[in-house]
Structure formats: C-alpha cells, structure tokens
Structure 1
Amino acid sequence: MSEAELVERLVVGDKAAMRAIFTAHHLRVFRFVLRLVGREDVAEDVVTEVFLDLWRQASQFEQRSSLSTWLLAMARNKAYSALRRRREEQLEDGVAEAIPDQDDTPEIHAQKINKAAIMRQCLDRLTPEHRVVMDLVYYHEEPIEAVSRILEIPENTVKTRMFHARKRLSELCKAAGLDRGWP
C-alpha cells in the first residue's frame, strides 16, 4: 500500500494505517530527534508528539513531499521546541550533584581511539546548522530537495551548508589525527 493510501486511511481513523506508518518511520524519526536533542527520554517524548500530531492532523498532509519528509520536519520543529524548554528549566536542588563526572576513564579513553568515536566527536563540534544538514543527507539519506523542505531553507543554502560542513569536518578530523582511510 502506498504512503498516500495509508494517509487517506489514516484521515478516516484507520488504526491499522497508523500502525503501518509508525512501524515504517518511528525508528528513523527517533534517531533523527536523538541526534538533535542528545537525550533518549526527550527524543521518545518528541517522537510520541510527532505521531500524535500525525494522527490528529493527517488531513493536512498535502503530499507535496514524502511522508517521511513531513514527519522529519515536524520532528525537527518539536525537537527544537523541546531544547528551548530544557534551557529554560532550572536545575532542582541535588540534580547538579547527580550529574556524572565527565572525566575520561581508561575504558572511555580506549574507545576514543576508535575512529568512529572520533568522527562522532568531530561531527558534534559542527554548528547545529551544519550538523543537521550532514545528519539528514548522510545518515537519513535524504536528497537535497527534501532537506530543503524539512529545514525550510532554499536548496542552494543546503548545498552551501554541506560544502562548509564537509570542509570543517575534514579540518576537525585532521586535527584529531584521523586520516582519510578506514581500517
């Protein structure tokens, strides 16, 4: 069944269509949100909100883009809202003391030698605008036009951000001691 047919069935309240859409997209949306917010509990809440909104607002889907693009755009907006709310919250007494010490243990130090870990660190050092573009293009394999719709920016801006993100990532990896090869 096509996405358009699933959405049409969803508009009339078909729970099986909702299950099919959720099964097909929830993991991708969760991973995308997790990269934006950095906390699994917050990511789970955002994903829940996205799919509840899909259930409530399925009739508003105009099919100008793919369903996954629409879901990722909703997820992006909700993730940024969650991040804003988190910044506005103040730490309660004792919460700061419960935050684990971030000093590296020998085990973590050994893990950092791993090229994948170093690459992730380099990616995390990109600006949020560059990081989200890299995430959508490379991890979610979204085409430039879909990224443009998700982020609500022109396609040429996406291309420019990709250029600068790749250049900066290359510099960060080189500074971290990564060569271009892979073991």
Structure 2
Amino acid sequence: MKESIFHRLYDAYHQDVFQFLIYLVKNRMVAEDLSHEVYVRVLKSYDRFQGRSSEKTWLFAIAKNVAIDYFRKNAVHTSHSFDAFNWETEQLVSPLKSPETLIEMNDDMKQLLDALDKCTGDQKMVIIMRYFQELSIAETAEILKWSEGKVKTTQHRAIKQLRDLLTTSVEKEANHNES
C-alpha cells in the first residue's frame, strides 16, 4: 500500500520538486540527492500525513525543509562555526558557482538567478514557488506556514529588490560598454 502511494506521488510530483530544488541549489547532482532525501522523508512520514493540505503542498514543504537543512549544513561547514543559520534573513546561496544547468540558460535567466541569490531566503523561496513553480499564493502560504498576507508582502519586496538589482546591473553593463 505504502509503496503504491509513494510511486504515485513520485510520478506526479518528482519533476516539480526536482526543479524547485535545482533553482535553489543550482546543481543537478545536489538537487538529485536532495530530491531523494525528500522521498525518503515522504516514506517515513506518510503515515502522519493528515490531508489538511494537498499532497503537492505537503511535498513542497518537505522539499523546502530539505533545502534549508542543506544550506544550514553548508553554512556550518563553510564557516566552521555553529552560529544559528537564519534562513528567513540569510541569503540562500549555493556554494557551487557554475552549475551545468546555468550554462544552458539564456543571459536574462542567469542574471535573474544571480539577482535572486542577493535576496533573502524568504524572498528567494517565494519567487521560486510563485513564478518558477507557479504555485498559488494560498499554496505558497501553506508550504511556508505563513499567512497569505506575508507571502504577498514578501513577494512584493522581492520583486522590488530584483527590479532594483537588475536595473543596477543593466546600468553598470551600459556604462561599461560605453567606456
């Protein structure tokens, strides 16, 4: 029984979960590993799934937690300190700078993802969920355990920050090309 539920969830959502993770960590192999971790957690905890949310939002909540654990672990390894990693305010920047998936993207997408790395973890998570994964405000709020108002506010601030970062980037490039 559990195995058939697992296969149904995997078949229905694996690609979405994988894409979500790859946008966060920017590395195919790491995203695959994290994706596997998501489904290990799904197998371990499906008995406790109470259906208060959709299976999709439940899976994304697990994927979000797996990604946060990954960033926390890397922050500790990188800094060699055990300071608390606050994913809500810290930037979620993958330690791997040139993933093969970015090579396949166009310049605009690369600029957007670079700018997204300069946003807070909250902002990055909301933008990826809302615009890359096309989740609704309600689904995003449910996954993040926030109010819809907080999602809207965070989204608004993220878009403003991205607009400012991308405008600055374009202006710098224009000035560089003129000189």
Q: Please report how far the alpha carbon of residue 75 of structure 1 lies from its aligned counterpart in structure 2 after TM superposition.
A: 1.0
Equivalent residue for 2:124?
A: 131
Instruction: Report deviation, 1:67.
Output: 0.8
In the alignment, what sits opposite 1:5? none
* Percent pairwise identity: 28
Whether 1:66 aligns to 2:54 is yes
Show structure 2 runs of 5+ residues with no match. Answer: 80-94, 172-179
1:155 corresponds to which of 125, 131, 148 = 148
Aligned-partner Cα distance in 1 for 2:73–2:126: 23
Determine the structure 1 residue equivalent to 2:168. Answer: 175
Alignment of 1:28 with 2:21, yes or no, is no
Q: Of the two, which has the highest radius of gyration?
A: 1
Contact 2:119–2:158 (8 Å) recurs in 1: yes
- Name the structure 2 match of 1:50: 38
TM-score of the pair, normalised by structure 2: 0.73
The answer to whether the 8 A contact 1:112-1:118 is kept is no
Paired residue secondary structure (1:177): helix
Distance 1:123 1:90 in 2: 21
Say which of 61, 64, 81 aligns to 1:76: 64
In structure 2, give the amino acid aligned to 1:123. L
1:89 and 2:52 aligned? no
> What is aligned with 2:88?
none
Q: Using the TM superposition, give the Cα deviation of residue 72 of structure 1 relative to its aligned residue in structure 2, in angstroms.
A: 0.7
Q: Distance in 2 between matches of 1:152 and 1:25?
A: 20
For residues 99-144 of structure 1, give each alpha carbon's deviation from its aligned partner in whole angstroms, at most 9, with x where no partner exists.
9998xxxxx8xx9983232222222222221111011001111111
Match in the other structure for 1:140: 133
The answer (yes or no) to whether the contact 1:148–1:154 under 8 Å persists in 2 is yes
User: Which SS does the other structure have where 1:48 is aligned?
Assistant: helix
Answer whether contact 1:147 1:158 (CA < 8 A) is retained. Answer: yes
Contact kept in structure 1, 2:26 and 2:96, CA below 8 Å: no
1:16 alignment counterpart: 4
1:7-32 deviation line (CA, Å, top 9, x unaligned):
xxxxx33x333222211111111121
Q: Distance in 1 between matches of 2:18 and 2:112?
A: 21
Q: Unaligned stretches of 5+ in structure 1? A: 1-11, 92-98, 103-107, 179-183
- Mapped contact 1:42–1:82 kept (Cα < 8 A): no
Q: Which of 1 and 2 has higher RCO (CA within 8 Å, sep 6+)?
A: 2
Q: Is the 8 A contact 2:18 2:35 kept in 1?
A: yes
Judging changes above 3 Å, is the alpha-carbon distance between structure 1 residues 63 and 123 closer, same or farther for their aligned structure 2 residues?
same
* Paired residue type of 1:26: H
